[in-house]
């Protein structure tokens, strides 16, 4: 018995982030559209052939994207918001939708389920007529076919597409379901002519959130229809990140060919297999979003269990989700102990084919036997490593559990107001200033020992000086040092902590051309020395304005890392909270009065299933509070979250009890703030007044309007003024005028008040 193999989706950014480079060069006008297209084609080809050579039976087509596959789906459906219609050039229009341009703001962007991947939120309204634009799919299909790739076409499923869309005229997103189904039906009819048998994968991760009666009905309608368009087209509905039991019960009664289920993050899926009948099971057994070696013995027994319900020839062995969420390959990593424990995208392909070959085999070949044995040995050695279990840390985890600050908010804020003496509508930024080419060069030269520690320090300090001087000149109220020493807000801390491993090439796409290199938390976490104090102390010495220190919160470090699976996440979070707690004390001792603890990724750690939320909220809140629990009443704790959906978590935000929270609101207007008002939220808030994801510089008038609109919702005494998020991805040419305009706008408003 050999299972067939299937990969939900693959990396698109490339082994060496080739796509990132090409995109950024194209945006800067350094390469032509032809050159960009050529890079894209080369990457697609390489990615297909890599999967084919690894022996994968069904390989994704249309998982490539210049920016984001939700955006691609919007284009395929011609769901182009009116403000982009006057842009004739298709690619320019596409990038304008993604990034905005001088004339039009971008579409909203938000996080894809509980990952750090961002998608663009499609905008629908009654004016938009959905019509098929199959160009991209067709081109990529033909490219693959010419290469002899046995492919399946990836599409965002209609329900996920709509559930993640928003309407701009208060119609209901699901009003558009018939229209979306019409377009998809037409597409499938076309696809039916492209080959004798084409598999189409509809990604429907939204189904893992649970399926109520209305959704069940939509699910049934959609796939009754899509799965019966043509004999030549077989439809797979793929779910991931959790179990999809409710959806399975509906889907098995439709004519779909296959159903994809995640057995790594949705173990409960096992319970619905009896209902499968003759359907094909696409069984996600290889973790598509974490980087640990597969535990073959566990997988093999899982697979045996699956075959109790479903015949082996009806099973495709698959990744639990798209490999978009893991780095490309460990091949380019330097040797290290931890490297031996890792499997990235390419290695996961090999794991898949290995498992598919050995499952249920009575006798393994010598090679297979050796591989299995080697894997057992590596995993056993890992378990007994000292770095994994540190008894001092384990002891502190039992006794150092306090979470409360010494005073209540209403008392703290009075003390802080006196101590800080800020004007109304205090202005600040979120932490980072532009990461210039020179900065990156300096950091990398330092890493490679090409420049001395002293030289490195001098250059970083020079940059901090520039940031301070600029803030002084612009007239901001609360300063930041600019984060020049940080490549990434999580990586920076991880590098200073024990228990973390850093890859050299472990890049994962976050949005568009932006990639992150998540640290690997493999062992118990401790910190040998203070991590930020010297930089902040230096920056504070250069100004009389309060310098806000920047820390990354425990939950964000956790959610943006690849985390060990041999300890509960709540325990890893506790270890992080304890090291941050020490850092807060150290900063305070160094005379720092404001400390921002970023929790940019607080929300993406939320379980997708409602019944699992309470537990997460409980330990996430406790560990944030624990991290700042040693802050004195006069030390002002800020936190920052960069997204705009707070409806469901407003109670939790309140429980965090940060003195000030800065949030993203520029793309979503005032709706968000109303939630805070309606909730009678008392602590201070800095709702972002302009979108930093776009290079566009907002004018002073525009900013004034934004600030005034915030004032319609919340009292002036509660409000701060700041951009949506950190400025590191922007250029100084954009940042300078934008912040100057922001401060000027505030000054006018103060005068008016």
Judged by the rule CB under 6 A, the positions of this chain that interact with ligand GLN are 430-432, 483, 489, 550, 598, 600, 640, 642, 725-726, 728
CB of residue 599 to ligand GLN, shortest distance in Å: 8
* 507 conformational bin, left if phi > 0, alpha if psi -120 to 50, beta if neither: beta
CA dihedral 585, 588, 590, 592 (to 10 degrees): 140
C-alpha to C-alpha distance for 70 and 119, rounded to whole angstroms: 6
CB of residue 327 to ligand GLN, shortest distance in Å: 20
431 binds, among Zn ion, ligand GLN, none (CB under 5 to 8 A by kind): ligand GLN
Nearer Cβ to ligand GLN, position 451 or 490?
490
- Stretch touching Zn ion by CB under 5 A, among 86-94, 542-550, 636-644, 669-677: 636-644
Angle between the N-to-C axes of helices 18-27 and 33-53, in degrees from 0 to 180, rounded to the nearest 10: 170
- Stretch touching Zn ion by CB under 5 A, among 64-72, 126-134, 202-210, 720-728: 720-728
Spell out the long-range contacts of 457-460 with Cβ–Cβ below 8 A and sequence spacing 24 or more: 460/484, 460/485, 460/535
Strand spans (E) along 13-96: 59-61
* φ, ψ of residue 37 in degrees (nearest 5): -65, -35
547 binds, among ligand GLN, Zn ion, none (CB under 5 to 8 A by kind): none
C-alpha to C-alpha distance for 389 and 605, rounded to whole angstroms: 24
C-alpha to C-alpha distance for 712 and 375, rounded to whole angstroms: 62
DSSP for 432-471, please give it: B----HHHHHHHHHHHTTSS-HHHHHHHHHHHHHHHHHHH
> Contact, 591 vs 540, CB < 8 A?
yes
CB of residue 601 to ligand GLN, shortest distance in Å: 8
CB of residue 664 to ligand GLN, shortest distance in Å: 9
Nearer Cβ to Zn ion, position 484 or 523?
484
Q: Could you say whether residue 642 binds Zn ion (CB under 5 A)?
A: yes
Going by C-alpha positions, the residue among 223, 309, 206, 320 that lies closest to residue 263 is: 320
CB of residue 726 to Zn ion, shortest distance in Å: 6
Q: What's the burial of 308, exposed, middle or buried (CB within 10 Å: 0-12/13-18/19+)?
A: exposed
- Identify the three-state secondary structure at position 118: strand
> Contact, 264 vs 303, CB < 8 A?
no
CB of residue 618 to ligand GLN, shortest distance in Å: 24
Task: Look up residue 271 and give its DSSP letter.
Answer: G
CB of residue 718 to ligand GLN, shortest distance in Å: 21
Give Cα separations from 175 to 172, 206, 208, 217, 664 (angstroms): 5, 17, 22, 14, 29
For residue 91, how far is the Cα from the chain centroid? 25
CB of residue 600 to ligand GLN, shortest distance in Å: 3
Question: Using only C-alpha atoms, what is the Rg of the chain?
Answer: 26
> Contact, 121 vs 108, CB < 8 A?
yes
Nearer Cβ to ligand GLN, position 144 or 430?
430
Give Cα separations from 385 to 15, 261, 388, 391, 499 (angstroms): 31, 34, 6, 13, 12
550 binds, among Zn ion, ligand GLN, none (CB under 5 to 8 A by kind): ligand GLN
Nearer Cβ to ligand GLN, position 499 or 553?
553
Lay out the site mask for Zn ion across 580-619 (x = CB under 5 A, - = otherwise): --------------------x-------------------
718 binds, among ligand GLN, Zn ion, none (CB under 5 to 8 A by kind): none
Q: Could you say whether residue 631 binds Zn ion (CB under 5 A)?
A: no
Nearer Cβ to ligand GLN, position 352 or 642?
642
706 binds, among ligand GLN, Zn ion, none (CB under 5 to 8 A by kind): none
Nearer Cβ to Zn ion, position 494 or 553?
553
Nearer Cβ to ligand GLN, position 111 or 640?
640
CB of residue 429 to ligand GLN, shortest distance in Å: 7
489 binds, among ligand GLN, Zn ion, none (CB under 5 to 8 A by kind): ligand GLN
728 binds, among Zn ion, ligand GLN, none (CB under 5 to 8 A by kind): ligand GLN
432 binds, among ligand GLN, Zn ion, none (CB under 5 to 8 A by kind): ligand GLN
Instruction: Please report, as residue ranges, which positions from 725 to 744 form the binding site for Zn ion (by CB under 5 A).
Output: 725
359 binds, among Zn ion, ligand GLN, none (CB under 5 to 8 A by kind): none
> Contact, 329 vs 15, CB < 8 A?
yes
CB of residue 488 to ligand GLN, shortest distance in Å: 9
Going by C-alpha positions, the residue among 53, 52, 18 that lies closest to residue 38 is: 18
> Contact, 124 vs 33, CB < 8 A?
no
Nearer Cβ to Zn ion, position 642 or 660?
642
Angle between the N-to-C axes of helices 135-146 and 177-191, in degrees from 0 to 180, rounded to the nearest 10: 30
Please identify which of the residues 47, 243, 501, 693 carries the catalytic annotation.
Answer: 693
- Identify the three-state secondary structure at position 627: helix
Nearer Cβ to Zn ion, position 56 or 725?
725
Tokens standing for 251? 């889907």
- Stretch touching Zn ion by CB under 5 A, among 254-262, 560-568, 586-594, 641-649: 641-649
Residue nearest to ligand GLN (CB): 726
149 binds, among Zn ion, ligand GLN, none (CB under 5 to 8 A by kind): none
C-alpha to C-alpha distance for 684 and 746, rounded to whole angstroms: 17
Residue nearest to Zn ion (CB): 642
Nearer Cβ to ligand GLN, position 240 or 690?
690
Q: Any catalytic annotation for residue 679?
A: no
By CB under 5 A, name the binding residues for Zn ion. Answer: 600, 642, 725
Q: Which residues are catalytic?
A: 693
């Amino acid at each position: 018995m050999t299972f067939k193999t299937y990969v939900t989706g693959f990396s698109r950014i490339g082994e060496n982030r080739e796509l990132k480079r090409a995109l950024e060069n194209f945006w800067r006008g350094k390469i032509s559209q032809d050159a960009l297209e050529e890079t894209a084609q080369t990457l697609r080809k390489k990615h297909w052939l890599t999967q084919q050579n690894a022996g994968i039976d069904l390989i994704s087509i249309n998982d490539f994207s210049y920016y984001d596959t939700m955006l691609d789906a919007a284009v395929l459906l011609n769901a182009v918001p009116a403000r982009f219609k006057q842009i004739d050039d298709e690619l320019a229009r596409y990038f304008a939708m993604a990034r905005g341009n001088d004339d039009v703001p971008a579409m909203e962007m938000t996080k894809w389920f509980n990952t750090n991947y961002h998608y663009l939120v499609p905008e629908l309204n009654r004016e938009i007529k959905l019509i098929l634009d199959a160009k991209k799919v067709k081109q990529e299909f033909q490219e693959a076919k010419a290469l002899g790739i046995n492919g399946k076409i990836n599409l965002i499923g209609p329900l996920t597409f709509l559930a993640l869309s928003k309407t701009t005229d208060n119609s209901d997103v699901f009003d558009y379901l018939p229209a979306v189904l019409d377009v998809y039906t037409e597409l499938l009819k076309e696809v039916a002519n492209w080959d004798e048998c084409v598999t189409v994968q509809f990604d429907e991760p939204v189904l893992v959130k649970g399926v109520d009666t209305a959704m069940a009905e939509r699910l049934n309608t959609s796939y009754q229809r899509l799965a019966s368009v043509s004999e030549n087209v077989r439809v797979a509905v793929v779910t991931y990140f959790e179990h999809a039991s409710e959806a399975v019960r509906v889907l098995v009664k439709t004519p779909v060919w296959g159903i994809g289920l995640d057995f790594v993050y949705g173990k409960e899926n096992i319970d619905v297999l009896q209902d499968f009948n003759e359907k094909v099971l696409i069984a996600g057994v290889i973790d598509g979003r974490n980087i640990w070696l597969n535990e073959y013995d566990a997988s093999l027994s899982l697979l045996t269990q699956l075959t109790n319900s479903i015949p082996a020839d009806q099973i495709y062995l698959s990744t639990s989700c798209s490999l978009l969420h893991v780095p490309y390959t460990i091949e380019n990593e330097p040797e290290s102990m931890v490297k031996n424990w890792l499997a990235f995208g390419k290695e996961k392909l090999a794991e898949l084919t290995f498992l598919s070959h050995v499952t249920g085999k009575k006798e393994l070949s010598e090679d297979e036997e050796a591989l299995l044995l080697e894997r057992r040995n590596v995993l056993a050695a890992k378990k007994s490593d000292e770095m994994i279990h540190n008894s001092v840390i384990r002891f502190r985890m039992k006794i150092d559990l306090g979470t409360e600050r010494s005073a209540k908010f209403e008392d703290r804020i009075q003390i802080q107001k006196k101590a800080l003496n800020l004007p109304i509508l205090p202005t600040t930024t979120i932490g980072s200033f532009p990461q210039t080419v020179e900065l990156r060069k300096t950091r990398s030269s330092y890493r490679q020992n090409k420049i001395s520690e002293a030289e490195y320090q001098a250059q970083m300090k020079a940059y901090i000086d520039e940031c301070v001087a600029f803030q002084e000149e612009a007239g901001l109220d609360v300063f930041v040092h600019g984060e020049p020493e940080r490549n990434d807000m999580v990586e920076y801390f991880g590098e200073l902590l024990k228990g973390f491993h850093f890859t050299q090439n472990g890049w994962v796409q976050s949005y568009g051309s932006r990639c992150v290199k998540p640290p690997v938390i493999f062992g118990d976490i401790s910190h040998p020395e203070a991590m930020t104090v010297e930089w902040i102390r230096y920056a504070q010495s250069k100004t009389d304005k309060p310098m806000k220190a920047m820390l990354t919160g425990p939950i964000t470090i956790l959610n943006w890392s690849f985390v060990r699976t041999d300890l509960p996440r709540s325990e890893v979070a506790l270890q992080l909270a304890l090291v941050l707690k020490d850092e807060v004390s150290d900063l305070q001792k160094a005379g720092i009065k404001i400390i921002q603890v970023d929790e940019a990724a607080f929300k993406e750690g939320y379980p997708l299933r409602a019944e699992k939320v309470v537990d997460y909220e409980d330990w996430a809140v406790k560990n944030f509070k624990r991290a700042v629990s040693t802050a004195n009443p006069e030390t002002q704790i800020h936190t920052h979250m960069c997204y705009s959906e707070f409806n469901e978590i407003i109670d939790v935000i309140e429980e965090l009890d940060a003195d000030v929270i800065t949030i993203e609101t520029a793309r979503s207007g005032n709706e968000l703030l109303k939630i805070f008002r309606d909730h009678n939220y008392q602590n201070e808030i800095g709702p972002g007044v302009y979108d930093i994801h776009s290079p566009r510089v907002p004018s002073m008038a525009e900013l004034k309007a934004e600030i005034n609109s915030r004032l319609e919702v919340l009292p002036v005494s509660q409000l701060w003024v700041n951009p949506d998020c950190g400025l590191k991805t922007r250029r100084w040419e954009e940042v300078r005028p934008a912040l100057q305009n922001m401060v000027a706008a505030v000054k006018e408003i103060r005068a008016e008040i």
